[in-house]
Structure 1
Amino acid sequence: MLVDLAPKIICIPKNYYEAKKEKIDFCVDGCMLYYKEVKDLTKCKFCRSPSQMRWHHENKNNSIDLRHPCDGEAWKHFDHVYLDFASEPQNIRLGLCSDGFTPYVQASTNPYSCWPVIVMPYNLPLEMCMTKPYFFLTCLIPGLHNLTVKIDVYLQPLIDDLKLLWDCGVLTYDISTKQNFILHAALSWTINDFSAYGMLSGWGTKGKLACPHCMADTKAFQLDNGVKSSWFDCL
C-alpha cells in the first residue's frame, strides 16, 4: 500500500525481504550511521575527534592569512604567556556563548526570559570547529525576568568546573594515543552582544566609560537633548 501511495521518486522496498536486504553501515563504536549525506564516508567523523584536538598545533599557519583562531595574535600571545598550557596540544581552548531570548512570546501573556549558555572547543580543524556536534549546552537558565547582573549566580557550577580544569586539570584517556594525560582547559573568549558582554564580564556597559577598549581615554559624549551617551568617535 505504501508503495502505491508514495511518489515515484521515493524508493520504498516492495516487500519485507527487500527491506531486509537494504543495509546501512555504522561505526563499530556506535558513533554514527553512514547514512544520507555521509553515506560515502570511509572513516567515522567522530572517532577522529581525539586526534583532531591536536590539529591547531600540527597545522600551524606561517602566512598572514587568518583561517582559524589559532592564527590570531590573541592565541599566539596566550601560548607565549602560558608555556606550560601550550606545551600540551590537547589542552582545550574554549569559547562561551550566551544570550537571552523570550520563547513563545505571542502565546503567553507573561513571557519569561531564557538564557542558554553554550561552550565550544576551538582546537578542532576548520570543517569541525564551530559546528553543531561540538556545541555543548552547559546550562539553560529560565526565569520570569531578565537576568541583568545576576547571571554569575547561575554560572557558579560552570565557573567551578572551568577553574578546576585550569588550575588542576583532570586525568583523561586519549584513545588516539592509548595514553593517559592531565587535561587542562582555558576559556579564551566569549561570543555575545554588548549588553550580554557586560553581564558576563562584570564590565559596566552603560554611561561614558562603557567602551572596554577606550576606558578612561574614551571620546564618548552625552547628547544635548536625549542625555544619552554616544560612542560615535570611539576607535
Structure 2
Amino acid sequence: MNDREDVFDEYEMLRDAFRGEDFGYVNSVHEESNEQASKLLYNVNNVGEPIYPGNIKYTQLKFVTRLLHWKNHNNCSDKVFDELLLLLGDVFPEGHKLPFNYYGVKKMVKKLNLGYKKIHAYENDCMLFYGDDKDLENCKYCELSRYKYATNGGSDIILRKILKFFKITHHLQRLYISTHTAQHMKYHKNKIVTAGVLSHPADGEKWKEFDKNYPDFAADIHNVSLGLATDGFPLYSNTTSTVYSVWLVVLLVYNLPHTMSMKDPYMFMTLLVPGPNDPGRNLNVYLRPLIYELISLWQVGVQTYDASTKTNFMMRATLLWTISDFPGMGMVRGWSTHGKMACHVCMGEVKSKQLPHSRKSNIYRLHMGFRDKRRRSRRKGRIVRNMCAGITFPPPGKPHSKERVDGFGDSHNWTHITSFFDLPYWDSLYCVIVSIICTRRKM
C-alpha cells in the first residue's frame, strides 16, 4: 500500500464519523443537541471548511491529516514541521485555515476528541500510576521510582513506560452524532430476521441469553454491544533491527451490520501497550483504565445525541466477548495455553502427553463423544470465579513472572484472575472462546 492510500484510509475514517453534509443546525430539529454534542458539531463544521477560499479539493481536516501522516512517515521533528507550516502559510492565499505551528494542529485535533491519554506505567509491568495511585512516586510492588535518568548521562529524568489510552466513549458518541452511522447503529434490532439463519451476532445464543438476563439493557435500542480483540505485533520488519513489539487492544461495535462492524473505520483502538516484549499475564494491569470506563458505561452511561432522530439519550455499553489467538487467550482469560493442560475447554479432562524429544504437548485419543461434552464445558463466569477463589496468585510484574501457584500444571492451569470479572455482568457470560475447540492435535 502506498503513502497516499494510507492517508486516504485515515481520512475515510474521519469522514465517515464526521460527514459534513450530515451536520449543521436547522430549525426543524425535534430536540436540541446536548452541550457536548453541540460543541463537537461546531468544531467539526469548522474543520470541514476549505483549507483556503476557493479550494475544492482539501478541507482543513483533510489537509492537516495528510500533513500529520507525512510527519509521521518521514519521522519529521516538531521544529521542522513548524517551519513547513510557516512556509505553507506564506504561500497560501489570505484567509487560509492552516495552523501556524504543530501546537495549533494538536489543539485542532484535541477539539475533535481524537486524542489519547498518557498513563504512567512501571517498566516491569507491575502497576499503573492511575486512579488512586496516580500520585505515587514508587512502584507498590518493586518500590522503585517511576522515573529513570536519561541515557545521555545528564540530570534529566524520564518516565520508564507510558500506556496510551483512547477512550471508547467518544468514538461511540460520534457514531450517533453522524446521521450516516446513527441509522446503522440500530441495525441489530431493526434487521430482518430469518428463522434458522445466523446473519448477525444478535441472532446467536449468547446475545439472546444476555438480553434475557438484562432486559432493561436490551430494551433500549441505542445501547451498544462490544467485542474486544487483542494481539501484539513487531514495529520493525527489518531482521537486523532490535526486536520490539507492542500490544494493541481494539474494540469492535456489533450494533452495526456485519458488513461494517469489521471494517477499519469502526474498529477502535483503546489501548497501546509499549514493549519491548509482550506483557504476558500482566496485560491484566494495562486493561484497568478500559475496565473502569466499561463499568461506567454499564452502570451510568453517557448523554449522547442521535442525529437520525434528533433526540438526546443515555447511552450504555457492554462487552460481550473477547477475540484472540490461542496464546493471546491465555493472557486475556488467565488459563495458560501451554503445557499438558493447555486446552481451555476440557481443562485436563482429555489425556495429554509431552513428546519425548521436544517440549511440545500432544493431546490425543479425542473421539466423537467429546464433541457433545464441549457444550457442557462452556463454563460461565461465576463458575470460573469459584474455581479461582481458593488460589493465591503471585503479584503482577516481571519479577514474579516465573512464580507458579500451587497445583499449576497438575490440577489447573490458572496464572491469574482476569480483571474482566470486575465488570458487573461478566459472571453471567461464558468464559471460553467457542471458535477454538479442543480437537486440535497440538498445542
Match of 1:174 in 2: 306
Structure 1 segment 1-235 matched on structure 2, within 5 A: 27-29=21-23, 47-106=179-238, 109-226=241-358, 228-232=360-364, 233=366, 234-235=438-439
Write the distance in 2 (CA, Å) between the matches of 1:84 and 1:173: 20
Moved more, 138-147 or 215-224: 215-224
Deviation of 1:108 (Å): 5.1
The alignment of Structure 1 onto Structure 2 pairs a total of residues equal to 199
Q: Which runs of 5+ in 1 are unaligned?
A: 1-24, 36-45
- Matched-pair contact (CA < 8 Å) for 1:93–1:188: yes
CA RMSD of aligned residues (A): 2.5
Paired AA for residue 217 in structure 1: E
Q: Name the CA distance, whole Å, in 1 between partners of 2:363 and 2:209.
A: 29
Work out whether residues 94 and 189 of structure 1, in 8 Å CA contact, stay in contact via their aligned partners in 2.
Answer: yes
The Cα of 1:199 is off from its aligned counterpart by 0.7
Query: Which string of whole-angstrom CA distances, capped at 9 and with x for unpartnered residues, describes residues 60-108 of structure 1?
Result: 5232122211111111111112212111121111111111111214165
Q: Secondary structure at the match of 2:221?
A: coil
- Output the CA distance in 2 between the equivalents of 1:28 and 1:174: 12
C-alpha change, 1:198 and 1:61, in structure 2 (3 Å) is same
Q: 1: distance between equivalents of 2:313 and 2:20?
A: 30
- Work out whether residues 205 and 211 of structure 1, in 8 Å CA contact, stay in contact via their aligned partners in 2: yes
Q: 1:108 to 1:227 in 2, by over 3 A?
A: closer
Q: TM-score, normalised on structure 1?
A: 0.75
Residue number in structure 2 paired with 1:22: none
Residue 220 of structure 1 deviates from its aligned partner by 3.1
Per the alignment, do residues 62 and 226 of structure 1 end up closer, same or farther by CA in structure 2, a change over 3 Å counting? same
Unaligned runs of 5+ in 2: 1-18, 24-43, 49-56, 58-177, 367-437
In the superposition, relative to structure 1, how do residues 108 and 85 fare at CA in structure 2: closer, same or farther (>3 Å)?
A: farther
**Residues in 2 aligned to 1:108 and 1:153: alpha-carbon distance in whole angstroms:** 31
Moved more, 82-91 or 212-221: 212-221
The one-letter amino acid paired with 2:260 is: M
Q: Which amino acid aligns with 1:149?
A: R
For 2:193, give the aligned amino acid: N
Secondary structure at 2:229 match in 1: strand
